[in-house]
Amino acid sequence: MSKSHAKPKHHKHKPVRPAQRDNDVAVYVGLFMIGLFSVALIGVWYGTWQIPTVGYIIAICFLVNLYGWRAYLGSTLAGWQRSLAKIPLRFAGYGTRHGHALAAAKHQSQARMVLFVCLAVSVVIICGITYLLIPDVRPV
């Protein structure tokens, strides 16, 4: 039997696995553990835990706002960055299970308003925590 009369071989497609979603809670727990370890290590080194705690809270507020604005501007974000961007944008209905996709927040006025509110809340949180934890910043 010649090759022209042979049965054609069928190409079998391998099943494609769906993209694996990042678990937001795992990202939040990981950041908490990193912060706890960092604050403890720096606190032992310098003898105080208040200043490293305020520094860590400033860093987390900065990252949440940064990645929220990057999602609003339409930048591509890694999984852990998307998890942080979802924190403020959830209040506008983006990045939730039954809401809009996070990519849909690009240049939306409702997302912009929520990000401005998140920025203001972050400043209030940082000022409040600093006032409570660091006695040198209190007026005499």
Domain annotation covers residue 1: no
Domain region containing 52: 47-135
Domain annotation covers residue 15: no
Domain annotation covers residue 56: yes
- pLDDT, tens only, 67-97: 999 999 999 999 999 999 999 999 998 988 7
Domain annotation covers residue 113: yes
The partner residues of 100 in beta bridges, in order of sequence, read 94
Domain annotation covers residue 20: no
Domain annotation covers residue 71: yes
Number of domains in the chain: 1
pTM, rounded to two decimals:
0.79
Domain annotation covers residue 10: no
Domain annotation covers residue 118: yes
The number of beta carbons lying within 10 Å of the beta carbon of residue 84 is: 23
Grouping H, G, I as helix, E, B as strand and the rest as coil, residue 15 is coil
- pLDDT, tens only, 30-43: 999 999 999 999 99
